[in-house]
Amino acid sequence: MTSYKLTYFNIRGRGEVVRILFKLAGVDFEDQRIEFPDEWMEYKAKTPFGRLPILEVDGKQLTESKAIMRYLAREFGFYGDTNWGRSQVDCVLDMLEDFHVDANKMFYAQAEERDRIVAEAKVRSLEILANLEKKLKENNNGDGFFVGNKITIADVLFFCETFFVPALTGDKEIIKGFPKLLALRDRVGQNQRIAAWVAQRPQTAF
Amino acid sequence: MTSYKLTYFNIRGRGEVVRILFKLAGVDFEDQRIEFPDEWMEYKAKTPFGRLPILEVDGKQLTESKAIMRYLAREFGFYGDTNWGRSQVDCVLDMLEDFHVDANKMFYAQAEERDRIVAEAKVRSLEILANLEKKLKENNNGDGFFVGNKITIADVLFFCETFFVPALTGDKEIIKGFPKLLALRDRVGQNQRIAAWVAQRPQTAF
């Protein structure tokens, strides 16, 4: 049996999508959590590229959260069944990545830039959400999943990312204007395995 | 025979990696170039998500440059031969995406922020390049390609991106400190099909 170990900070952040994929697949993994900053500086020196998450697969290390997500999606069957289907999954993942353009700006911003960045993030996030709603509607009138007839990493990553968009944009209700996306988020959250994990996972601020 | 049409601005930018993949595979495609801003506003209304590039495959539209790149890489065999190999390709692609954190900051910056952003971009780009050099060395001592024994999209995207890093960081020589990466860039550029395209492609500023 393959042994999996995920090492990430003790937050949801970029690592939560990976944890959810394991839960969704019903596959055991070790969920190692590094406390930041207390444990990080010492641990950082042991990492190949000075960053987390790291997935170990029978001891072999894979870095970069999206590379890890795609690896597990291919392994567990959450990545579409055809090349075209996979391209549609990739398209949604790329659209979701655009939230991080503003998240990164926020992360590296000076204090006096904050208000302007939040305002810009809201404008751009509304565009991204409108495009995602349109993309969702291309498939089964938006009443199923982003691609095909079953859950893929496009849905799971969307589920994870939309919980930080309200904080990024200063608008707690931002997703309410997109009814198909809201219903999708509920549908993903109601998956039994995901709901069970969300109910028992460590509570962290973000 | 499958018909391919790429629509992008008349620059290299995010579209060039796609054009190079067609050339590398020896597959014909229509290379439609939209002049910005003169043709763009009218054309934008015709696009599904208000953005380019768009790849049409027998008339079906795919958006997002990296989704297009991955689609063609799977179609043409430039994406590694195993799931683990694909994950290594993805890892390099994700590392390269980090250059765009700073490129995006630059794109959206106010004039007075420019010098600070260039300085920060240089610090971060040196880290990214050091990690890429280390990653390259994990495979064949860094004397071949990023993954396995033949060219993949990891090498091609690296080839495309490293030409904008000097402009981003204000340091024309920045890649010279990384001899394995420099040799890889030369190796990719010396591929006959790529060299032929580079010699004849439309000359654009970036």
Q: Can you read off the two tokens belonging to residue B12?
A: 């290299």
* Cβ-based interface (< 8 Å): residues of B facing A: 48-50, 57, 60, 62-68, 70-71, 74-75, 83-84, 86-88, 90-91, 93-95, 97, 101, 104-105, 108, 120, 127, 131, 134-135
Which residues in chain B touch residue A88, judged by CB atoms under 8 angstroms apart? 62, 67
Contact A86 B93 (CB under 8 A): no
Q: Which residue has the tokens 């064949």?
A: B140
What amino acid is encoded at B145 in this protein?
F
Give the nearest chain B residue to A63 (CA atoms).
B91
Q: Say how far apart CA A170 and CA A78 lie, in whole Å.
A: 32
* Full pLDDT tens readout for chain B, 206 residues: 999 999 999 999 999 999 999 999 999 999 999 999 999 999 999 999 999 999 999 999 999 999 999 999 999 999 999 999 999 999 999 999 999 888 888 887 788 889 998 999 999 999 999 999 999 999 999 999 999 999 999 999 999 999 889 999 999 999 999 999 999 999 999 999 999 999 999 999 88
User: Residue A109's pLDDT is what?
Assistant: 79
Alpha helices in A12-113 (DSSP H): 16-25, 40-44, 65-76, 83-97, 99-108
State the average pLDDT over residues A31-45.
96
- We find that the CATH architecture of domain A83-190 is Up-down Bundle (1.20)
Cα A161–chain centre separation? 5
For residue range B130-173, list pLDDT tens digits in order: 999 999 999 999 999 999 999 999 999 999 999 889 999 999 99
Strand B4-9: give its sheet, edge to edge.
B30-34, B4-9, B54-57, B60-63
Q: Can you read off the two tokens belonging to residue B16?
A: 């060039």
What amino acid is encoded at B200 in this protein?
Q
Q: Say how far apart CA B175 and CA B132 lie, in whole Å.
A: 11
The superfamily in CATH containing domain A4-76 is: Glutaredoxin (3.40.30.10)
Q: Which of A159, A13, A161 is nearest to A99 (CA)?
A: A161
* Cβ-based interface (< 8 Å): residues of A facing B: 48-50, 57, 60, 62-68, 70-71, 74-75, 83-84, 86-88, 90-91, 93-95, 97, 101, 104-105, 108, 120, 127, 131, 134-135
- Percent of chain A predicted with pLDDT > 90: 89
User: Residue B102's pLDDT is what?
Assistant: 86
Q: Can you read off the two tokens belonging to residue A104?
A: 């990164």
Band the pLDDT of A192: cuts 50, 70, 90: very high
Instruction: Tell me the domain boundaries of chain A.
Output: 4-76, 83-190
Q: Can you read off the two tokens belonging to residue B151?
A: 């060219």
Whether B69 and B157 have beta carbons less than 8 Å apart is answered as yes
User: Residue B123's pLDDT is what?
Assistant: 96
Q: Say how far apart CA A161 and CA B126 lie, in whole Å.
A: 29
Whether B102 and B121 have beta carbons less than 8 Å apart is answered as yes
Q: Say how far apart CA A16 and CA A159 lie, in whole Å.
A: 10
Please name the helix (run of DSSP H) or strand (run of DSSP E) that holds residue A156, with its range, or none.
helix A153-161
3-class SS letters over chain B: CCCEEEEEECCCCCCHHHHHHHHHHCCCCEEEEECCCCCHHHHHCCCCCCCCCEEEECCEEEECHHHHHHHHHHHHCCCCCCHHHHHHHHHHHHHHHCHHHHHHHHHHCCHHHHHHHHHHHHHHHHHHHHHHHHHHHCCHHHCCCCCCCCCCHHHHHHHHHCCCHHHHHCCCCHHHHCHHHHHHHHHHHCCHHHHHHHHHCCCCCC
How many C-beta atoms surround the C-beta of residue B111 within 10 A?
Answer: 6
Whether A156 and A24 have beta carbons less than 8 Å apart is answered as yes
In angstroms, the separation between the Cα of residue B67 and the nearest Cα of chain A is 5
- pLDDT exceeds 90 at position A37: yes
Out of B67, B104, B135, the one facing A94 most closely (by C-beta) is: B67
Q: Say how far apart CA B98 and CA B125 lie, in whole Å.
A: 8
Topology, domain B83-191: Glutathione S-transferase Yfyf (Class Pi); Chain A, domain 2 (1.20.1050)
Give the nearest chain A residue to B47 (CA atoms).
A131
Q: Can you read off the two tokens belonging to residue B19?
A: 């054009």
- pLDDT exceeds 90 at position A108: no
